[in-house]
Amino acid sequence: MQVPPLSPPPRLLLGPGPSMVEPRVYEAMRLPIVSHVDPYFFEVAEDIRRMLGMVFGTESHFTMVISGTGSAGMETAVTNFAGADTRFAVFANGYFCDRITDIARRQGAAVVRFEKPWGETFSDAEAREFILRERPEVVAYVQAETSTGAWQDGKAICEAAHEVGALVIADCVTSLGGMPVKMDETGIDIAYSCSQKCLSCPPGLAPISLSPRALEVLRAREAPVRSFYFDLKLLDDYYEGAHRYHHTAPVSMFYALREALAVAVEEGLERRYERHRLNHLALVAGLEAMGLSMHVQNPAHRLWTLNTPRLPEGVDDAKIRKRLIEEHGIEILGGFGPLAGRILRIGLMGASSTCENVLTLLTALEAALKAEGYRPPASGASAAEQVYARAAAV
């Protein structure tokens, strides 16, 4: 039987993930694999550890990769630090805060939540009052909420948590590699992310890092972690200790992440963050020129990596997205949960975050809106070009 070769359709990935993959990453994945216990594999793992520390903004040596997607990173973070009756506080303002809550409850933790509408953020005073009142053992928040496009500064959360002796978990899935995570400076104890967003790598790996405080708690833990696969003590023994077999790591994906991190470091992290910021500002200017308002109203609380414009009244997001993918090969996604049908989710992450992509999307989106009967008051692409012109003149 003749099986036809794979022939994926050409796509410009501008949704909430995955992003476009760096060409060097594809080349790395073609290299011959070695065993998951070969000395060369551990050299690659050490390269990854070192560069991840730079991107996380941490001096911690306990930085590694979980074989799994970003949800595996989330589950690892929660299961290693939440057990039966652990008082576990969650800042809840989006879908992934709810997922953290679900995982913690499955561990038997006593979860308390500070809830806000999806897309809103927590002030320093609110965060402090909540933590000092509840006095949890673990605090979790989402730094970059993929469901809403909101950025949560975590410094006040971490300071208050440490005051009551709690550890802080931060979801950095949509920020790592595109915005400064600043793990040590912020005071985050457990940070996790994924490979397929701002690092421009295929999905399949979840970076994670622990502060010295978190590591001390982990090593003092007497009860076994309920998950064998996500047990950080066992994983540390595999990667950094005796290299004792734990699981068969996806070697080609480690090659891919190592190369993706090399691309990021070679670009220069500050230059990379500025690229994401500028493209975000240009996109927002273009969207607003077309009459679309942003769901996250305060510009300081918006992600540079994931943009969430509100749809004009009467415009069907599914029809807009269908036109974009069928007529232009561009993928963006809509909202879900309470934001279903109300917003678009547009990712500008890693290799996807370029001036060319911003202008291409704005032009295609304007055409799709017009086809659905909406008349933008001005050209989005022209407004974006003005942002780039002003930046170039500085």
Structure tokens at 229: 């696969």
β-pairing, 205-210 vs 150-151, is unpaired
- At residue 245, the pLDDT reads 87
pLDDT for the residue 394: 84
Domain assignments of the chain as residue spans, ordered by start:
23-265, 268-393
- Give the contacts of 82 (CB within 8 A, at least 6 positions apart): 88, 103, 104, 107, 108, 109, 138
The pLDDT value recorded for residue 124 is 98
Give average pLDDT by consecutive 10-residue segment, the chain, 394 residues: 95 98 97 96 97 98 97 98 96 98 97 98 98 98 98 98 98 98 98 98 98 96 93 91 89 98 98 98 98 98 98 96 98 97 98 98 98 97 98 93
User: CA–CA separation, 116 vs 263, rounded Å?
Assistant: 37
Phi, psi values for residue 106, rounded to 5°: -65, -25
Distance CA 361, CA 284 (A): 12
> Read out DSSP for 165-228?
T-EEEEE-TTTBTTB---HHHHT-SEEE--SSSTT---S-EEEEEE-HHHHHHHHH--SPPS-S
The CATH class that applies to domain 268-393 reads alpha beta
Cα(15)–Cα(352) distance, integer angstroms: 9
- For residue 124, the one-letter residue type is D
CATH T-level assignment (fold) for domain 23-265: Aspartate Aminotransferase; domain 2 (3.40.640)
